[in-house]
Amino acid sequence: MFFNSEKQLIKRALQGNQGAWASLCKQHHSRVYNQCLRLVGEPQDALDIAQDVFISMHRNLHTFNGNSQFSTWVFKITHARIVDHMRKRKFESIEGKEPEVLQAGPDAGVAQQQSNQEIYDALKQLPFEQRIVVELKFFQHYTFEEIAMQLELSTNTVKARLYNALSKMKGQLEVRDHG
């Protein structure tokens, strides 16, 4: 069989099929990595988190019951690992450890890096709970209801967080315009 549905891949991965597991990872690794990159803004951290995400996925694959989409389940794990990372990072900054400087990847163009850097910087200005809503709304294109379901919040809370993020951006724009 040359084409496998996600369901079949999960089933086979659970049976210990390494190829199926590799295919599942291949389907999600770019999305997970880029999501981590946008939310933490640093490639090395994003890589660490993404690796943790795949380890968690592997350990907990048997808990995926198929009630939601696999991508939603992956996002929940990603979210949890990012939250863990943020807590750890917060602790380290209190301890006086400086965050790592963003290093450009070997294959990344300079213009591309600059464009993405602006996005990372803009996202970094937002508190994490707002950043994640912006990520899901504008980069993942989810509806308010889907975001609420993934974050286990009410739709109104999600809207409030997004509006706050947008209002905050207005302040940044004003600063940039005046600067």
Residues interacting with other proteins, by CB under 8 A?
18-19, 21-23, 25-26, 29-30, 33-34, 37-38, 43, 47, 50-51, 54, 105, 107-109, 112, 115-116, 118-119, 122, 134, 137-139, 141, 143-144, 159, 162-163, 165-167, 169-170, 173
Q: Which residue number, 79 or 130, has a Cβ lying nearer to other proteins? A: 130
Least distance between other proteins and beta carbon 58 (Å):
9
CB 158 within 8 A of CB 145: no
Query: What is d(CA 102, CA 91) in angstroms, rounded to the nearest whole number?
Result: 20
Instruction: Using DSSP, state whether 127 is helix, strand or coil.
Output: coil
Instruction: Using DSSP, state whether 157 is helix, strand or coil.
Output: helix
Q: Which residue number, 93 or 114, has a Cβ lying nearer to other proteins? A: 114
Least distance between other proteins and beta carbon 33 (Å):
4
How far CA 119 is from CA of 45, 85, 99, 123, in Å, comes to 16, 20, 18, 6
Q: Which residue number, 30 or 69, has a Cβ lying nearer to other proteins? A: 30
How far CA 1 is from CA of 13, 50, 130, 145, 156, in Å, comes to 15, 29, 44, 37, 46
Rg over alpha carbons for the chain, rounded to the nearest Å, is 18
Q: Which residue number, 93 or 156, has a Cβ lying nearer to other proteins? A: 156
How far CA 18 is from CA of 12, 52, 65, 89, 130, in Å, comes to 8, 18, 20, 33, 37
Tokens 């992956």 map to which residue?
A: 74
Least distance between other proteins and beta carbon 38 (Å):
8
Least distance between other proteins and beta carbon 92 (Å):
22
Q: Which residue number, 93 or 112, has a Cβ lying nearer to other proteins? A: 112
Least distance between other proteins and beta carbon 72 (Å):
18
